[in-house]
Amino acid sequence: MFKTIEWTNDGVRMIDQTKLPSEEIYRTYTDYREVAEAIRSLVIRGAPAIGVAAAMGVALGIKHSAARDEAELRADFEKIADTLARTRPTAVNLFWAIKRMRDTFERALSSCQHEPSGFGKVRAALEKEAQRILAEDIAINEAMGRHGADLMPDAGIVLTHCNAGALATAGYGTALGVIRAAVACGKKLQVFADETRPFLQGARLTAWELAKDQIPVTVITDNMAGHFMHQGGIGAVIVGADRIAANGDTANKIGTYSVAVLAKENGIPFYVAAPLSTIDLSLASGEQIPIEERSSAEVTQLAGVSLAPAGVPARHPAFDVTPQRYISAIITEKGVARAPFSDSLRALFAG
């Protein structure tokens, strides 16, 4: 089984998701700026995986810091955290993970009485915390799978958009984790993977990891989803999330909103699977979620080939927001939330 990301003695190692499925290449980064660039350029992507990468980036940066006193170490921490935080704005897991690393940094600094002789302990604490975030993420995804498996049909087709699988997390996946758990329970599921223009996470990544697990998967282009839903046979839609507002509005890969509207029109349940670290209770609704706008070249070109006439502008919002009224349930590691989400999501945090 592949590892999406891991901490090694040589540096942070990750599978290069820009090369899949044609090449299975692993990159090892020894500088936090390389980790930031890997996040920005989608070598690693998917909200929980971005969080793990950011945590490891912080640990890596402080590992190589030459700070001689606390002021210098703090300045290094801020520079590293800021560089990583500026990579991608939508997935809240990035900021959640940096905050966990900051809390760990403060705790470790005070436990070594802010003395440079104790900086080794600060470095060790950060490495341990980054690895803990990774291990917890896998356990969280497995818990999500247990909670969500019952919601999947006993047999038939489940449609997903983008990649919310092992590649988008530390392992197992959120939406694909629920599908994996349902299949492990004996449900006879097939997956329809929207290809997910423009980066093709569905065609390249979801299809790759499901095929490896021998879960039947069929790739469709994004504009075929409505056709297949209308024909019948699609029993459920399940997707991941990059940020969920307090009222349940959910930002996920561009195109998710259209799929959710189509699902409602066709009477098909639409599920979101995401860890609590993806829920941002500080935002009242999805209107406040920052949407990343990526380069238009990612829309007008595919593998270096132009798909549109030179000079014609293109837009590239990388995410959209699905209003909560289209969402049948949000599956988390603490259980399943249903409307009204403003109450049910808060209750999960309290429980």
Contact footprint for ligand MRU (CB under 6 A): 45-48, 91, 162, 164, 168-169, 174, 201, 239-242, 252-253, 318
Choice between 190 and 201, CB closer to ligand MRU: 201
Q: Which helix (H) or strand (E) holds 331?
A: strand 329-332
Asked if 242 is an active-site residue, the reply is: yes
Q: Are 194 and 255 in contact (CB under 8 A)?
A: yes
Task: Give me the catalytic one of 242, 249, 280, 320.
Answer: 242
Min separation Cβ 49 and ligand MRU, Å: 7
Q: Exposure of 339 by Cβ count < 10 A (0-12 exposed, 13-18 middle, 19+ buried)? A: middle
Output the residue with the shortest Cβ distance to ligand MRU.
240
Asked if residues 50 and 42 have their Cβ atoms less than 8 Å apart, the reply is no
Closer CB to ligand MRU, residue 126 or residue 175?
175
Least distance in angstroms from the C-beta of 83 to ligand MRU? 18
d(CA 338, CA 100): 28
Return the number of other C-beta atoms located less than 10 Å from residue 335's C-beta.
Answer: 16
Least distance from ligand MRU to the Cβ atom of residue 304, Å? 20
Nearest distance from residue 278's CB to ligand MRU, in Å? 7
In the three-class reduction of DSSP (H, G, I as helix; E, B as strand; rest coil), residue 13 is classed as strand
Closest approach, Cβ 164 to ligand MRU, in A, equals 4
DSSP letter for each residue of 286-325: GGGS---B--THHHHEETTEE-S-TT-----BSEEEE-GG
Neighbours of 313 (CB within 10 A): 8
The helix/strand count (H/E) of the chain reads as 11, 16
Q: Is the CB of 164 or the CB of 259 nearer to ligand MRU?
A: 164
Q: Three-state DSSP class for 32?
A: helix
CB of 237 to ligand MRU, least distance (A): 12
Contact at 8 Å (CB) between 289 and 245? yes
48 vs 148 by CB, closer to ligand MRU: 48
Rounded CA-CA distance 350/345 in Å is 9
Residue given tokens 């990544």 in the structure block: 205
C-beta of residue 325 within 8 angstroms of C-beta of residue 247: no
- Name which of 122 and 279 has its Cβ closer to ligand MRU: 279
Residue 203: what residue type? A
Select 160 or 300, whichever has its Cβ closest to ligand MRU.
Answer: 160
Which residue numbers are catalytic? 242
